[in-house]
Amino acid sequence: MNTDTNGNEASTSHGLLISRASQRNTVGVPPEYFTGPVQLEMLFSPNGPDRTSAGLVTFPPGARTHWHSHPLGQTLIVTAGSGRVQREDGPMQVIDPGDIVRIPPNTKHWHGAAPDQSMSHIAIQEALDDKSADWMQPVEDHQYQDSAKAQ
């Protein structure tokens, strides 16, 4: 048994590294980047010359990221619940299971759960010079609270 780049048990078989779902860890995210008790299951991180990482992120109702951007962009795949996403100077939008959100490089944005529902998504991003995100200020409650404005 080996460990993957996230410290989870992984097995190597026929030249493939397999990270079993039952053996991956879920951890709380750093509170300096999120509002609310958000959980992260890191699915994979760069290993060798690749730059891509992905995590399954679960937000309880009302939880959200802070404003942030990604040097090479980000893709979100909503897997459960109902959420919200907004880019700077754009409308807050509803995202539901099966929706895929493509966020362009260096676009200031936030994403999280609906006020009354949890939401999970897979977040995929690439690192540039070992950095995959630039974190900024929290999304203020008054910016988030009026979900009726969500489109």
The answer, yes or no, to whether residue 147 has pLDDT greater than 70, is no
Range from 32-36, 47-51, 96-100 carrying the lowest mean pLDDT: 47-51
pLDDT for residue 1 is more than 50: no
Average pLDDT of the segment spanning 118-139: 96
Tokens representing residue 72 in the block: 């090479």
Query: What is the pLDDT, as a whole number, of residue 48?
Result: 79
Q: What does the pLDDT read at residue 49? A: 87
- Domains (ranges, CATH) in the chain? 25-139 (2.60.120.10)
Range scoring the smallest mean pLDDT among 42-46, 58-62, 93-97, 124-128? 42-46
How far does CA 77 lie from the centroid of its chain? Answer: 9
Mean of the per-residue pLDDT values for the chain?
90
- Long-range (24+ apart) CB contacts under 8 A made by 131-137 are 131/71, 132/53, 132/70, 132/71, 132/72, 133/68, 133/69, 133/70, 134/68, 134/69, 134/70, 134/71, 135/32, 135/33, 135/66, 135/67, 135/68, 136/66, 136/67, 136/68, 136/69, 136/108, 137/66, 137/67
Confidence (pTM): 0.88
- Residue 3 in this model has a pLDDT that exceeds 70: no
Quickly state the pLDDT bin for 135 (edges 50, 70, 90). Answer: very high
pLDDT band at 68 (very low <50, low <70, confident <90, very high): very high
Which of 1-15, 22-36, 57-71, 103-117 has the least mean pLDDT? 1-15
